[in-house]
Structure 1
Amino acid sequence: MTFNVHIRGTEVRFPCEADQNILDAALKAGIEMPYSCRKGVCGNCAGAVSSGEVRCPPAGEVTPAGKHLYCQCLPLGDLEIVPEAWHRVDPRARKTFTVKVFKNTQAAPDVNVLMLRLPAGQRAKFKAGQYLQVALADGSRRSYSMANPPHESDMLQLHIRHVPGGKFTQIVPHLKSGDTLQVELPFGSFELREEATAQMLCVVGGTGFAPVKSVLDDMAKKGIKRPVTLIWGGRDRNGLYLMSAVEKWKKSLPGFTFVSAIEDADDAAALGGFAGRVDEAVRATCASLAGHEVYCCGSPGMVAVVKKVCVQERGLDPHHFFSDVFVPGPAA
């Protein structure tokens, strides 16, 4: 059975099957709303259902009061919804490529930087901060952010953390030049709001650095001049596996400030950074975040606690907290 979903206050309507979640139906119809994990973990797709009934799991900590996670909601009839934001996209813009491994570097004991080359004459269209999906032989998929900026469109750079027991991360260390992978892109709504002029705070943990690298490289290429503070955290100094990019931004981005947040006190002292977690570094670095934009990438727990500090303790407008939550395992 097919139901009708209407975005309140607009003429926009799209079909949604009884066994299809609202987010997937919207994306299929070319309507993009905020989302990241698509697994009910990050809370980015939360929005109101102003009319009609839905079936979805019980609300958790990431679900704001009076709202639902569109990636988990199935319609029980026609609906009227009130998303936080939406815009039209071309569903045909998402492409599948067979890419070749160009270079595979172990950047840290638990991180590989994988450089993939697209077929000759083909280009990947994406926005800085978006991600792709790698298709595995068993039909499952894994999601990884592009770390390269969009103008480097003949190449895809992925930062892949080794997950214990992870199906794809067991394969990655053995990939060699010339090996092929099947990828589809772009996905995700984590991207720079280029029209904004607010000061930016970027808070990342581990390979959450990848999408923010794409964003900052894109800003440098376009000559966007906004004050940016980057807080990059790890358990030890190996977690900050690509400091060469940070050194480049110090020269190419006016008003750029870098803060390392290392939980190992000796490594933190050696780097001259903050000793502790990224949320503690936010408290120590930022007296107020009123009027700022925050871009945060990392594990669900890390993103949740950083958001709490930014919004509840430092006065950030919650609508100006943008996140990409890294959830291991198969893509939704």
Structure 2
Amino acid sequence: MSHQIRIVGSDVCFGCEPGETILDAALKAGIEMPYSCRKGVCGNCAARVEGGDFERGTVSAEATPPGQELLCQCRPRADLAIAPSSWRRLEPGARKRLQLKVYRNTLAAPDVSLLQLRLPAGQRAKFRAGQYLQVQLPDGERRSYSMANPPHESDGVQLHVRHVAGGRFSALVADLQPGDLLDVELPFGQVDLDPEAGGPLLCVCGGTGFAPVKSLLDDLAKRKSARSVTLIWGARDRAGLYLLEHTAKWARALPNWRFVAALEDGAEAKALGAFHGRVDAAVRALASELPRGGEVYCCGAPPMVSAVRAACVDAMQLPAERFHADIFVPGPAG
């Protein structure tokens, strides 16, 4: 028997089947709330849960605000009421399953492929900056990758794929040729960033966490945004900043722009004039210089995002609700 989930302060109610998470049930019902990883790590889907009993799956304690639960891990045993930070109805047909054609496959770094895919003739990909797609593998498993192109470039998508030892999809990427087809579904994710907001924005990313940041910043540049934007991009060495030249475009397009490269290799950091150390150390070191009263968007591996979250709270006194995370969690898509 399904349980009824009500959104506090509204007349919206949807069913949740036994064993189904609240987030999955909401998405199936056409209700979208903030979410990203769907694996209990990023904390984006945190919400207050009222009344009734539920099963709590594996969650990251530091990503779960006090008095809230992660909806991607909550499986109700009774009717419940939830109070998400925001919600909206999905447009009918907003999510599509498509066969995309490989247009170009190049190496941006020894361990990063830039995969340019084209949609079928006459079709467009409708998505918001920072969202991701799921690639379906031959055996039906899925892998998630952020769209690196901005929404106005809607006749195709660009993916940044890091080559990971044992990675199911990254192992296939090297052999993909122009004309090859990939089965994908898009869009997924809700980063909850208002593109029209005027407050300061700090973006922090590591490695290919640059992909959704690129989409966000290209979108702001297209909109001729005047908001203060700072990007801190970290890597082990210079090769990890695989599209460094692209930052010059934002310097020209965004009037209140600052870029900080953070490299763990001391010699290369010195040669590039970059910050020597990890991105969370850069946030702490530069905290007094960073604009306050805005939002932080952070993307990368779970330990990096966790460290940056702590740095923003400790050194910048950033309210938890202004920290938006897109965490790259390996393995099958949630």
Matched letter for residue 7 of structure 1: I
TM-superposed CA distance for 1:75, in Å, is 0.8
**Structure 2 SS opposite 1:151:** coil
Aligned to 2:186: 185
Q: Please list, as runs of the form range in 1=range in 2, the aligned pairs for 1:81-160 lying within 5 A after superposition.
A: 81-160=82-161
The 5 A counterparts of 1:244-283 are 244-283=245-284
Instruction: Report if the CA contact (8 A) 1:131-1:146 is conserved.
Output: yes
Partner of 2:14: 14
Deviations 1:55-76 (A, max 9, x none): 1136542222222111111110
Map of 1:1-332 to 2, 5 A cutoff?
A: 1-57=1-57, 60-61=60-61, 62-190=63-191, 192-287=193-288, 290-332=292-334
Deviation at 1:244, TM superposition (A): 2.0
Shift of 1:192: 3.2
Q: CA deviation at 1:284?
A: 1.6
1:290: how far off?
A: 3.6
Counterpart-to-counterpart distance in 1, 2:13 and 2:30: 11
What is the rounded CA distance, in whole Å, between the counterparts of 2:201 and 2:214 in structure 1? 14
Check whether the contact 2:204–2:298 (CA below 8 A) recurs between aligned residues.
yes
Distance 2:91 2:198 in 1: 28
Q: Distance in 2 between matches of 1:84 and 1:251?
A: 35
Which string of whole-angstrom CA distances, capped at 9 and with x for unpartnered residues, describes residues 234-266 of structure 1?
Answer: 011111000121111111111111000000001
Structure 1 unaligned blocks of 5 or more: none
Query: Match for 2:140: what amino acid?
Result: G
Report the CA distance between 1:86 and its aligned residue.
1.3
Q: Following the alignment from structure 1 to structure 2, what is the Cα–Cα distance between the partners of residues 76 and 324? A: 29
- More displaced stretch, 266-275 vs 281-290: 281-290
1:230 match: secondary structure: strand
Rounded Cα–Cα distance in structure 2 between residues aligned with 1:125 and 1:64: 32
CA deviation string 1:288-329 (max 9, x = no partner): 664121111001111111011111321112111111000111
Change (3 A) 1:14 1:41: same
Question: Aligned letter for 1:103?
Answer: R
User: Are the counterparts in 2 of residues 103 and 115 from structure 1 also a CA contact under 8 Å?
Assistant: yes
Moved over 4 A (4+): none
Check whether the contact 2:2–2:16 (CA below 8 A) recurs between aligned residues: yes
Which structure 2 residue ranges, 5 or more long, are not aligned? none
Report the 3-state secondary structure (helix = DSSP H, G, I; strand = E; otherwise coil) of the residue aligned with 2:153.
coil
Aligned length, in residue pairs: 332
Please tell me the root mean square deviation across aligned C-alpha atoms, in Å.
1.2
- The two structures have a TM-score, normalised by structure 1, of 0.97
| 8 Å contact kept, 2:298–2:326 | yes
Separation in 2, partners of 1:60, 1:128: 26
Matched residue SS, 1:92: coil
Please list the CA deviations of residues 87-140 of structure 1 after superposition, one character each: whole Å capped at 9, or x if unmatched. Answer: 221252100111111111111111100000111111000001100000000000
TM-score, normalisation: structure 2: 0.97
| Conserved 8 A contact 1:129-1:191 | no
Measure, in 1, the Cα distance between the counterparts of 2:26 and 2:167.
31
Helix, strand or coil for the counterpart of 2:35?
Answer: coil
